[in-house]
Amino acid sequence: MSAIAVSDEILDELRGILGEERVLAGRSARFNRARVPAPFPVHRWQDHVPDVVCLPRRTEEVAAIVKLANRFRVPVVPRAGATGLSDGAVPLRHGILVDVKLMNEIREIDLEDRTVTVQPGVNMLKLNEELRKHGVMYPDDPASYPCSLVGGRIGTSGWSLIGGRYGHTRDLVISFELVLPSGEIIEVGDGGGRKIRKSSTGYQLKHLFMGHQGTLGIVTEATLELVPRPEAEFSAFFAYPDYETAWRSTGALARSGLATLAGVVLFDEWKLAYLRRDDEAYIPQPAGVRAVVATAMYGTTDEVRPAAKRLLRIGRETGGDYLGDEISQGDWASRHDRYATPLHGRLPGGQVAPMSWHCEDAAINWSQLPAVREQWHAIVADLIARHPIFDDWGMFAYTSGAHKPWGDYLTEIDVGIWEQEIDEESWQAWVETKRAIAEVAIRHGGSISACHGACREGEVDLVPLELRGQFDVMKKIKRTLDPNNVMNPGKYLLDEAYEEEEA
Amino acid sequence: MIGFRLAAQRSPEPRRVADAVVMRFDHVYEVDPALMTEHVRQQEMPAWDTQRIVAGRWDYLAWMHDHWADSVVSGAELEAETDL
């Protein structure tokens, strides 16, 4: 479907649905909703500006907008907190942007069946402030915890820092209401009523309608899991003389079988070198500290205290030195909110330059981490040699399995990017770098993404290679549910579905 | 009324603590000013503002702990309790 500018007729109809004040056609409203924190071709900003921004409050309004989009064949792009790292909320074909931030009601707190029902514009931090009064918590904890919204977490099938203990977004969302690409409203869950966690009736569609990056509909309400508010938190950071020892220790800690263990994170030598430049916790560390492993636990005090003792013992027996309470507690607390960190990077001569943070992620098995790490750093070093506006900020590997955090790891290489200096040549070099990073992940039996999604320019080219026959099924589903290709068109190479149909 | 106090305005001279890091107050680190001359200029800040930002950071971390759990277990205390 080619891009069609939104006409006055469409604007008038949108105003009829939402009223004058919730249809925004001014420049600032549209330009501010063009990008997300993922690297962005700032030299081509206008390529991604929506034609109009809509701010619905009710499900029926969202459905009416989507039906209108079908009638006029105009793209619709859903947007929640816009904190994603995979471009899901970036309009590729302009069109109508549906911003759900005004859909921010907490509809029901059910303390008997332990659920909370919310609209998609609710933020987890604000939700948990309300839930605390009742002694419960919704434990979905991305690095964007203070600013991301429930709708985006569902649309991206988000990953949680404490997923080893409580599960990730897909484990914590019980059911949701969805406006399909046709404008039809359905309830999606495991089966049964909206508070049923496990059902064996019919196809399991909940996962299908999560993580689709806005290509299969817009969530308008969600029923979420409640867990007891933790009595105790414990975090321990360990220092190691080399990566090999830290990697083996990470495996031992993750395989400990301790049910309160929320996560184990391995920082490599490049990450330590980066932190030693600018992070108050790492600047004073002696030169012999070459790698660090972070751990965190949550639960009742009776669970956490003995488990923490065992965790400290395992860390020490596998070569780690406990870094102390100040670093362990302070650094862990800061990890719930990485988006607030002001960033700068270094050019090859050492001069400071303003840089934004970017991270390429993958899902990698523990056994493959050392080999992947070496290749990823070599790829980024080659990029920096050609374009010194990039800066290698090191890697981490984070236990990823929900409740079974020992097999595979969210693996990231963080790269600083001086975005103001990007031109088409350096942008294409970056895209090629992303493609190379994704290729290494697939070659080692991994996945392009454990956390962010894989629909960004560059890595998306390898999605058919990773998914093989599953990608053909994806295209058939997309074409069936969205026959006019109005829902976030251009994402995930799904335009191929329509090209094949025409052929 | 508190009058003008020079010490509250002017930070101490920096001491070098690492290759690219200097320190004016204990445990408050700054990028070496020599590395901030071309693309990003270092700002001059009154001492009280530096202290305010540092205190605010600690308040924020304490708030985050309290947000997630009723208590924080100390690893140092556990190590002292047991011969780990």
Q: What is the 3-state secondary structure (H, E, C) of B46-75?
A: CHHHHHHHHHHHHHHHHHHHHHHCCEECCH
H helices, E strands: number in chain A: 16, 20
Point out the residue among B18, B31, B65 whose CB comes nearest to the CB of A233. B65
* Residues A233 and B72: beta-carbon distance below 8 Å: yes
Q: Residue A128 and residue B67: Cβ atoms within 8 Å?
A: yes
Confidence category of residue A2, pLDDT binned at 50, 70, 90: very low
Amino acid at A24: L
User: Which of B37, B73, B78, B84 to substitute to test the interface with A, most A CBs within 10 Å?
Assistant: B73
Question: Residues A321-358: pLDDT tens digits?
Answer: 999 999 999 999 999 988 766 678 999 999 999 998 88
Phi first, then psi: what are they for A251, rounded to 5°?
-60, -45
Per-residue pLDDT, B45: 87
Point out the residue among B21, B39, B76 whose CB comes nearest to the CB of A352. B39
Compare all CA atoms of chain A with the CA of B30 and give the residue at the minimum distance. A278
pLDDT score of B3 more than 80: no
Return the domain boundaries, chain A: 8-99, 106-228, 232-456, 468-502
For residues A310 and A295, give the distance between their C-alpha atoms in angstroms, rounded to a whole number: 12
Share of chain A above pLDDT 70, in %: 99
pLDDT score of A488 more than 60: yes
Report the DSSP beta bridge partners of residue A414.
A359
CA atoms within 13 A on the CB side of A24: 18
Q: Residues A76-87: what's their mean pLDDT?
A: 94
Per-residue pLDDT, A175: 98
pLDDT score of A72 more than 60: yes
User: Which of B68, B72, B77, B82 to substitute to test the interface with A, most A CBs within 10 Å?
Assistant: B68
* Residues A165 and A221: beta-carbon distance below 8 Å: no
- The DSSP symbol for B11 reads P
Q: Residue B29 and residue A283: Cβ atoms within 8 Å?
A: yes
Phi first, then psi: what are they for A413, rounded to 5°?
-115, 125
Amino acid at A203: Y
> 3-state class of A460 per DSSP?
helix
Q: Residue A277 and residue B20: Cβ atoms within 8 Å?
A: yes
Given the structure tokens 């990450």, which residue do they identify? Answer: A271
Q: Which two tokens stand for residue A197?
A: 């966690």
Which residues 38-67 in chain B show a CB within 8 A of chain A?
38-40, 61-62, 64-65, 67
Same fold for the pair A8-99 and A232-456: no
Q: A336 to chain B: which residues are within 8 Å by CB?
A: 64, 68
Query: A76 vs chain B: nearest CA distance in angstroms?
Result: 37
Among A220-234, A302-316, B9-23, the minimum mean pLDDT is found in: B9-23
Fold of A8-99: 3.30.43
What does pTM read for this prediction? 0.95
Q: Residues A12-18: what's their mean pLDDT?
A: 98
Instruction: Single out the residue of A337, A310, A411, A327 nearest to residue A369, CA to CA.
Output: A411
pLDDT score of A462 more than 50: yes
For residues A43 and A29, give the distance between their C-alpha atoms in angstroms, rounded to a whole number: 19
Q: Which two tokens stand for residue A200?
A: 């064996």
Q: Residue A233 and residue B76: Cβ atoms within 8 Å?
A: no
pLDDT score of A1 more than 50: no
Query: A197 vs chain B: nearest CA distance in angstroms?
Result: 24
* Residues A258 and A297: beta-carbon distance below 8 Å: yes
Q: Which two tokens stand for residue A153?
A: 């977490």
Interchain CB contact of B3 with A (< 8 Å)? no
Q: Residues A94-98: what's their mean pLDDT?
A: 97
Pairs of CB atoms within 8 A across A/B? 106
* Residues A398 and A410: beta-carbon distance below 8 Å: yes
Per-residue pLDDT, A3: 47
Q: Residue B40 and residue A298: Cβ atoms within 8 Å?
A: no
Instruction: Please give the residue that has the higher pLDDT: either A39 or B3.
Output: A39
Per-residue pLDDT, A342: 62
Interchain CB contact of B18 with A (< 8 Å)? yes
pLDDT score of A439 more than 60: yes
- The DSSP symbol for A43 reads G
Instruction: Please give the residue that has the higher pLDDT: either B6 or A129.
Output: A129
Average pLDDT, rounded, for chain B: 90
Q: Residues B50-56: what's their mean pLDDT?
A: 94
User: For domain A232-456, which architecture applies?
Assistant: 3-Layer(aba) Sandwich (3.40)
For residues A255 and B49, give the distance between their C-alpha atoms in angstroms, rounded to a whole number: 46
For domain A106-228, say whether CATH 3.30.465.10 is its number. yes
Q: B61 to chain A: which residues are within 8 Å by CB?
A: 329-330, 333-334
Q: B84 to chain A: which residues are within 8 Å by CB?
A: 309, 312-313, 316
Point out the residue among A313, A334, A354 whose CB comes nearest to the CB of B61. A334
Q: CA-based diameter of chain B, in Å?
A: 55
Question: Residues A397-418: pLDDT tens digits?
Answer: 999 999 999 999 999 999 999 9
Per-residue pLDDT, A382: 98
Average pLDDT, rounded, for chain A: 96
Q: Residue B84 and residue A309: Cβ atoms within 8 Å?
A: yes
* Residues A42 and A419: beta-carbon distance below 8 Å: yes
Find the DSSP H helices in A299-360: 301-317, 325-334
Compare all CA atoms of chain B with the CA of A230 and give the residue at the minimum distance. B69
In sequence order, the 6+-apart residues with CB closer than 8 A to the CB of A82 are A33, A36, A89, A152
The CA–CA distances, whole Å, from A236 to A160, B59, B63 equal 19, 21, 19
Q: Residue B35 and residue A351: Cβ atoms within 8 Å?
A: yes
Q: Residue B84 and residue A354: Cβ atoms within 8 Å?
A: no
Question: Residues B58-74: pLDDT tens digits?
Answer: 999 999 999 999 999 99
Per-residue pLDDT, A280: 86
Q: Residue A231 and residue B68: Cβ atoms within 8 Å?
A: no
Given the structure tokens 């203070």, which residue do they identify? Answer: A146
Report CA A469 to chain centroid distance, whole Å.
25
Point out the residue among A232, A325, A354 whose CB comes nearest to the CB of B75. A325
> 3-state class of A66 per DSSP?
helix
Q: Residue A329 and residue B79: Cβ atoms within 8 Å?
A: no
* Residues B36 and A347: beta-carbon distance below 8 Å: no
Per-residue pLDDT, A331: 93
Radius of gyration of chain A (CA): 23
Question: Residues A183-209: pLDDT tens digits?
Answer: 999 999 999 999 999 999 999 999 999
Q: Residue B78 and residue A312: Cβ atoms within 8 Å?
A: yes
